[in-house]
Amino acid sequence: MLCNKQNMPTPPDKRRDAARSREAILDSAERLFAAQGYGATSLQEVGAAAGVSRGTPSYFFRSKAELYRAVLERSFGQVRNAVKSGRERALKSGEPPDVVLAGAVGEYFDFITGRPDFVRLLEWEALQGGGQLGELAPHLDAIHEAVAAIADELGFGGDDRRQASQLVLSILALCCFPIIHARTLIPGLDGSADDPAFVTMRRQHVIDLVLHGMHGRLTPAVSTPNRSEAS
């Protein structure tokens, strides 16, 4: 019997190679889009940086616009997964609200400072009017997840959930600013985003600032050990 090669399954090695190539393209595209923006980045540059042939990015993503959206979707998926895992840990901890909030702020800070390309992608989008983000549901899902996490972790309900939205916005601003202005304003403050001592000091400062700002607004309900079951 003759075999139809078109209907034969792709061998596992080829599937793994394809998956690796796709991830390499996404990694390179993220770095290039973050460094020089969407308009200044070409598919040929991405292919060269990823170590694949010129036509491979187009094979996987068809166009630069689709590749860019895939980069953004992956980034926001990582954000959402990080927030969800942090939320689960906090709800199971049974710690008092100030400890939970300090841990949440520290995790947000570590995630953001560990992914400067993600912050720069957001800045490019903001400068360009957010056109691509307007077509993406994942970025809204990630924000909603962050607000829900803070609200659940700190026992905010009803109208207090608006406080959670403001708190998330403040945390993001405090964490992102040193990355956004790493080459503009931070050097004038005798700091460097590449200096571990500066980053550690900034991390603790953000935690202290948020805790001080929320003093008196946190309820002991967070510390009940069965909150994870109630949620």
User: What is the distance between the alpha carbons of residues 53 and 17, in angstroms, rounded to a whole number?
Assistant: 14
Burial 220-230, CB ≥16 within 10 A → b, else e: eebbeeebbee
Structure confidence by residue, pLDDT tens digits, 144-157: 888 988 888 888 87
Structure confidence by residue, pLDDT tens digits, 140-190: 888 888 898 888 888 887 777 888 899 999 999 999 999 999 889 999 988
> Which domains, from first to last, does the chain contain?
12-62 (1.10.10.60), 72-230 (1.10.357)
Q: Given this model, what pLDDT does residue 225 score?
A: 39
Q: Is the dihedral of CA 231, 151, 69, 43 positive or negative?
A: negative
With a cut of 50, say whether residue 1 has pLDDT above it: no
Q: Given this model, what pLDDT does residue 227 score?
A: 39
With a cut of 70, say whether residue 21 has pLDDT above it: yes
Residues composing the chain: 231
DSSP code for 156: -
Q: Token pair 């403001």 is at which residue?
A: 166
Q: Given this model, what pLDDT does residue 28 score?
A: 97
User: What is the distance between the alpha carbons of residues 105 and 112, in angstroms, rounded to a whole number?
Assistant: 11
Q: Dihedrals φ, ψ of 214, to 5°?
A: -95, 5
Of the given ranges (22-26, 140-144, 167-171, 227-231), which has the lowest mean pLDDT?
227-231
The residue among 82 and 46 whose pLDDT is bigger is: 46
pTM for this entry: 0.78
Of the given ranges (47-51, 112-116, 189-193), which has the lowest mean pLDDT?
189-193
Write the secondary structure of 69-130 as one string of H (helix), E (strand) and C (coil): HHHHHHHHHHHHHHHHHHHHHHHHHCCCHHHHHHHHHHHHHHHHHCCHHHHHHHHHHHHCCC
Q: Assign 189 to helix, strand or coil.
A: helix
